[in-house]
Amino acid sequence: MAAPSPGPREVLAPSPEAGCRPATSTSGRRGLLWRLRDKQARLGLFEIGPGHELHQLTCMMQAGLWAATQVSMDHPPTGPPTEEDFSEVLTQVHEGFELGTLAGPAFAWLRHSLGLAEGDYQAALGPGGPYLQFLSTSKSKASFFLSHDQRFFLKTQRRREVRALLAHLPRYVQHLQRHPHSLLARLLGVHSLRVARGKKKFFIIMQSVFYPAGRISERYDIKGCEVSRWVEPAPEGSPLVLVLKDLNFQGKTIDLGPQRSWLLHQMELDTAFLRELNVLDYSLLMAFQRLHEDERGPGSSLIFRTARWAPLQGKGKNEVTGA
């Protein structure tokens, strides 16, 4: 892989214009149009604009990720990641903060193998628009953000969780290569952020399984138990975005039709992989998307997007979209 030398490195980072101003790209222009069209549908999320307590932090994240992605654009992968690629740590020094990129070349190759253009990735996560704060019903104390176009999901992680994730990363990449239709969530990056001389904060980046979100009517996080698995639904007509749980799903069914055997087989492969990693806590994330008339098949039910389990950080996600 054409990448900088392995091991910890510290460099002065290039950065986009200050103040969280938009990065210029085709994806950014499309994102502006999307935001104008979909603004009403995303009122349940909270824009982290000026005045928000997390605005300065997310501006640092955006500037740092813009510069970090520029490194992978300047040094694109030429082959599968090496052992050194998985262990590389790049620290980029910005004005007032440092952003670390862990296993950057390995993740760059993974994004490339998934068909994700680095320019689009940079435009979505960089200063192209405010991040969205997502108030999760999870019991974890992690913070959750979405890129302005809701395509990418950012989640804070504890140091020990990041260590476990990186330790399993080579096997995770190998699993995705063996099973390109895996339901595992697509992990796209791991980073650290240090403000001034403060304590490092870690976060991961994943593809959002709810993208595009415009037509999704219901979201469920299914764990297979009933203890503390109820979320009070939003009032009818409310724009609040909630992820419901097992008890909310009672009485509902999904007809998978001819895709049932494939889905169950893939779930067996993925859960076997998670068991090998000793990941004990994961759940099934389902989204219901209304179909247009010309999308309805003979059984009036189909899966539009394959699901995703999120491995490696203790809790996983999966998505099934049905009618």
Task: Note the pLDDT tens digit of each residue in 78-111.
Answer: 899 999 999 999 999 999 999 999 999 999 999 9
Q: Is the pLDDT of residue 224 over 80?
A: yes
With cut-offs at 50, 70 and 90, classify the pLDDT of residue 253: confident
Average pLDDT in the 5-17 region? 66
Give 187's contacts (C-beta < 8 A, 6+ positions apart).
Answer: 107, 110, 165, 169, 172, 204, 205, 206, 310, 311, 312
For 43-208, the fitting CATH number among 3.40.30.10, 3.40.190.10, 3.30.800.10, 3.30.70.1880 is 3.30.800.10
CA dihedral 161, 110, 73, 9 (to 10 degrees): 40
Q: Is the pLDDT of residue 302 over 60?
A: no
Measured in whole angstroms, the distance separating CA 92 from the mean position of its chain's CA atoms is: 22
* Mean pLDDT of the residues in the chain: 80
CATH 3.30.800.10 domain locations along the chain: 43-208
Task: Note the pLDDT tens digit of each residue in 139-185.
Answer: 667 788 999 998 999 999 999 999 999 999 999 999 999 999 998 98
**Which amino acid belongs to residue 92?**
Q
Residue 50 is encoded by which pair of tokens?
């000026």
Residue 47: strand pairing partners = 132
What percent of the chain is predicted at pLDDT more than 90? Answer: 45
What percent of the chain is predicted at pLDDT more than 70? Answer: 77
This prediction's pTM: 0.78
Give 64's contacts (C-beta < 8 A, 6+ positions apart).
Answer: 13, 92, 94, 97, 99, 191, 193
